[in-house]
Structure 1
Amino acid sequence: MGKPTGFMEYKREAPRKKDPMARVKNWQEFQIVMPEQQLKRQGARCMDCGIPFCQAGTTMPGSNEIGCPVYNLIPEWNELVYRGKWKEALDRLHKTNNFPEFTGRVCPAPCEGSCTVAISDEPVTIKSIEYSIVEKGFKEGWIKPNPPKERTGKKVAVIGSGPAGLASAAQLNKAGHLVTVFEREDRPGGLLTYGIPDVKLAYTIVDRRITLLKEEGIVFRTNVEVGVDVTAEELDREFDAIILATGATMPRDVDQEGRELSGIHYAMDFLTANTKSLLNSNHQDANYISAKDKDVIVIGGGDTGADCITTSIRHGARSVTQFDINEQKQTIRHIDNPWPLFPNIYSEEDAHKEAKAVYGRDPRSYKLQTAKFVGNEKGELVGLKTIEVNTTLEDGKKVRHPVSDSTKLWEADLVLLAVGFTGPERQLLEQMNINQTKRQTIDAEYGRYQTNQAHVFAAGDNRRGQSLVVWAIHEGREAARECDRFLMGSSQLP
């Protein structure tokens, strides 16, 4: 504990961000790095709380998450930052998290929701301190490739190069195995590259880490779809073990009348095409779904929907509205959402603040369910109809109850569906004879990650279901440990 009275002396100070009206004109990251002295004060707010719930990543049945899923040693590196020992703080950070530059940008920080200071005050700025530690590490040249001194001769194929795949590959490479990562897109990174807009996580940041992984000996094969370009049988002949980190990429649909109209797209198709065109040509090739001068409606109230808002605004959309089927959250914790659970409360994301600045209003509308898509004689989308619904919990399931006389017509010529995912794509799993659960996820026990094929392991969203980047990193690390144990009989990986 750096300063025993720090949490009483200093107030929380979050990093400043560029003005919304200025930042929406480009695709650059907009968080401003905090001065070092200010960061030290924020580190001093970390208290000697006895049980650091912030780093005790877990979940409780029927509730939200508690703490950091990768078990970051948060109090330790907070104290080191306060004392100005940045390199030691970086060492502590890398002990538990392979990619703090990713989580320091895109993680919703469940650690902060479980911070003891947050019982009666605002939590420690854990996320911004993590971000600052790793960025200082890159700036000072402390983060360098560190290939293993010896190789085991064992070969592992990692299918998918998102956060789970990269974490698995990094850990298995540390153990001395020969790792090849297969990615069907033209660039590695998976969700990190094409699922998150550049304003939140620039591809240069992803590529910086992947370059290090290559220098440490990991082989990346892009534009290769396993199950199509390379068969499961070919993988079995070449590799001793396989890790499936393919994500949950099957989008959930909105099956209503008029769904076939042009102008309705899945959110990930919209986001992926946008980033690919941005990276390839700064949008000069026009190979993306443009929101320019359109009335955009985003169906879905989560992070992916917010990313669609961010992107649409930068395209120059005439208007942007986001539908959330749930009611607006309260500004304080509900009685069934106590500390140290992640606070399920109302908040304004950066996307919502940008929309308010550009259009003069919060883009969100609540308790709305799409009833019908409306088109013209050319088969083009011109609007949609909604009904208001009230949601109740019955036998553990959400039930929607329509409100009478609540039908409303909305103008729209671009609708983006951001209502979640149903699980991993099934073609490869069927080819590999991998068992699935009733939820259509891969059947592999948490903590063991081994599928019904003994040499095949699964990690991340394809096993867990749609979740956070930090949980994918956690599962990737643990799956690597179990894979190493399978190959060698025991494992020293954490």
Structure 2
Amino acid sequence: MGNPTGFINVGRALPTERNAGERLIDWLEVYEEIPQADVEQQASRCMDCGVPFCQSAKSEFAPAVAGCPVNNVIPEWNDLIYRGRWQDAVELLHKTNNFPEFTGRVCPAPCEGACVLGINADPVAIKLHEKEIIDHAFKQGWVVAEPPASRTGKNVAVIGSGPAGLAAAAQLNKAGHMVTVYERADRIGGLLMYGIPNMKLQKELVQRRVDILAQEGIVFVTNTEVGKDISVAQLETDFDSVVLCIGATVPRDLPVAGRELNGVHFAMDFLTANTKSLLDSEHQDGAFINAKGKNVVVIGGGDTGTDCIGTALRHQCKSAIQLEIMPRPPEQRDESSNPWPQWPKRLLVDYGQKEAIAVQGQDPRQYLVMTKKIESDGQGNVKAVHTVDITWQLNDKGQMVPQEVAGSEKIIPADIVLIAMGFMGPEGGLVAQFGLEQDARSNIAAQYDKFATSKPGVFAAGDGRRGQSLIVWAIDEGRRCAREVDSYLMGKSYLP
């Protein structure tokens, strides 16, 4: 490394967050820009650690053991930006990651969880460096369309335009195949476009990359649901291979009394409608679930729950509360039960919680709380959420189960209830039409690193195959799947 003592002399530093009061009146990114010289200095913290655990992750160990699923060669591009060789850095970054402008913003950075420096100090700010490399490259005009020099004559259909679908399409197009991507929504991007709010990922960044892919020869077809607007039989006739990247979009429901009331919504319905209305009309069309002046209760944690809190606050909600059934994580990693390089399980205060603290004076999250029922106002609308505190105890089968704490019942006023309890698997209709086998969790049955389904010529990648996961794992699967499809079509593949 260029500065062998950088990790000793330089402390970890991240961009300044915009003032909460300022950012709650717009939908722009949370962070200020950071000077290029500061990024180069931060890159000097990367150690000559011998074995860079940051740049590799095993699918069979995810998410327990951290590391980068797309195998970014992190020490190398840290060294390059420390030396000011930014163009070399982006070329190296693009060799392993098709969309670093996405992962550099919304990935939870498992690479940092595996950073060797993180054993006894703050890890290297790898995610920041990834974002800054690609942002600088776009500003300099270094990222341009690179269509393949020749075509193979093979046609591939990719169903779904989320990160897995886009990664698979990008790689297959590089191999010279003609690729058509089908998306049932009106915009390309899937989760990237409608599942992640603007303040985390500006949609012009998604469209910018989609435009480049289109210039490289990929055909994008929107407002088209395969199995409905175009038949599976037609697809199999028109294409030499099909790649299913349909995601795990069936939400986990909340089976309690009052679930059917007006004002109770799945979190993704809330987030999707908000972003679409924002993009279509800057919310002037009113075609979204408006939390203005409402008491909002989010049931469930994770990124989706945080996004619901941040979105509701930007609507100027009256209050925002987040209920989590799991215990409050510790402030610091427990080295005895959660040692490095496992993913560090510790309390994180994300942008949505920070904004709620600024507005409401306290963290919106309440831990070890279970929802018992949702109360009606007598006219079919939600009025309140009834909860009880719980503890987790072992039953006679050795399973951890929730036990209610006597006398801990509460009633929380609510005008909107958002269910953010994760996802169960892919929607079954299209899977059934293709006649594909599914695993015990209803995911499409296809072995990792092979991605071939039970039907010849049909492949699957991303959350629809592996279950709900990270964007970076979706990109990894899309890339690896593309290599298998290329081999199926051509007998061998030179894709990475």
Counterparts in 2 of 1:387-406, with a 5 A limit?
A: 387-392=388-393, 397-406=399-408
Counterparts in 2 of 1:164-243, with a 5 A limit?
A: 164-243=164-243
Q: Which residue pairs with 2:465 in the alignment?
A: 463
**Which piece of structure 1 moves more, 373-382 or 78-87?**
373-382
SS of 2:228's equivalent?
coil
Structure 1 position 134 matched with structure 2 position 134: yes
**Which piece of structure 1 moves more, 210-219 or 375-384?**
375-384
SS of 1:132's equivalent?
helix
Residue type of the partner of 2:20?
P
Q: Which residue pairs with 1:69 in the alignment?
A: 69
Deviation of 1:63 (Å): 5.9
Structure 1 position 482 matched with structure 2 position 484: yes
Structure 1 position 261 matched with structure 2 position 264: no
Contact 1:33/1:132, CA 8 A, preserved across alignment: no
Residue type of the partner of 1:366?
Y
Distance between the aligned counterparts of 2:400 and 2:417, measured in 1? 24
Distance between the aligned counterparts of 1:362 and 1:88, measured in 2? 43
Deviation of 1:397 (Å): 4.8
When residues 63 and 250 of structure 1 are mapped into structure 2, their CA distance, relative to the original with a 3 A threshold, is closer
Distance between the aligned counterparts of 1:166 and 1:176, measured in 2? 15
Cα deviations by residue, 1:430-486 (Å, 9 ceiling, x for unpaired): 011011011000100011000001101100000010000000000000010101010
Deviation of 1:30 (Å): 2.5
Contact 1:161/1:245, CA 8 A, preserved across alignment: yes
Q: Which residue pairs with 1:362 in the alignment?
A: 363
Deviation of 1:62 (Å): 8.4
Distance between the aligned counterparts of 2:154 and 2:388, measured in 1? 57
Distance between the aligned counterparts of 1:2 and 1:392, measured in 2? 52
Counterparts in 2 of 1:403-442, with a 5 A limit?
A: 403-442=405-444
Contact 1:7/1:44, CA 8 A, preserved across alignment: yes
Number of aligned residue pairs:
494
Contact 1:59/1:66, CA 8 A, preserved across alignment: no
Cα deviations by residue, 1:247-286 (Å, 9 ceiling, x for unpaired): 0000110010111111100000000000000000000000
**Which piece of structure 1 moves more, 330-339 or 122-131?**
330-339
Distance between the aligned counterparts of 1:401 and 1:179, measured in 2? 52
Contact 1:458/1:479, CA 8 A, preserved across alignment: yes
SS of 2:411's equivalent?
strand
Distance between the aligned counterparts of 1:31 and 1:62, measured in 2? 29
Deviation of 1:407 (Å): 1.2
The alignment's TM-score, normalised by the length of structure 1, stands at: 0.99
Distance between the aligned counterparts of 2:60 and 2:15, measured in 1? 31
Unaligned runs of 5+ in 2: none
Contact 1:460/1:471, CA 8 A, preserved across alignment: yes
When residues 135 and 259 of structure 1 are mapped into structure 2, their CA distance, relative to the original with a 3 A threshold, is same
Contact 2:298/2:417, CA 8 A, preserved across alignment: yes
SS of 2:346's equivalent?
coil
When residues 397 and 131 of structure 1 are mapped into structure 2, their CA distance, relative to the original with a 3 A threshold, is farther
Distance between the aligned counterparts of 1:178 and 1:400, measured in 2? 52
Cα deviations by residue, 1:291-334 (Å, 9 ceiling, x for unpaired): 00000000001110000001000001000000010010001112
Distance between the aligned counterparts of 1:398 and 1:92, measured in 2? 45
Deviation of 1:406 (Å): 1.5
**Which piece of structure 1 moves more, 177-186 or 61-70?**
61-70
Residue type of the partner of 1:420?
G
Residue type of the partner of 1:126?
I
When residues 62 and 488 of structure 1 are mapped into structure 2, their CA distance, relative to the original with a 3 A threshold, is closer
Structure 1 position 301 matched with structure 2 position 301: yes
Deviation of 1:61 (Å): 4.8
When residues 484 and 392 of structure 1 are mapped into structure 2, their CA distance, relative to the original with a 3 A threshold, is farther
SS of 1:181's equivalent?
strand
When residues 253 and 415 of structure 1 are mapped into structure 2, their CA distance, relative to the original with a 3 A threshold, is same
Distance between the aligned counterparts of 1:7 and 1:411, measured in 2? 49
Cα deviations by residue, 1:62-95 (Å, 9 ceiling, x for unpaired): 8623210100010000000000000000011000
Distance between the aligned counterparts of 2:44 and 2:61, measured in 1? 34
Distance between the aligned counterparts of 2:4 and 2:399, measured in 1? 46
Distance between the aligned counterparts of 1:396 and 1:190, measured in 2? 40
Residue type of the partner of 1:460?
G
SS of 1:65's equivalent?
coil
Structure 1 position 336 matched with structure 2 position 337: yes
Distance between the aligned counterparts of 1:288 and 1:390, measured in 2? 37
Aligned CA-pair RMSD: 1.1
Q: Which residue pairs with 2:351 in the alignment?
A: 350
Contact 2:296/2:321, CA 8 A, preserved across alignment: yes
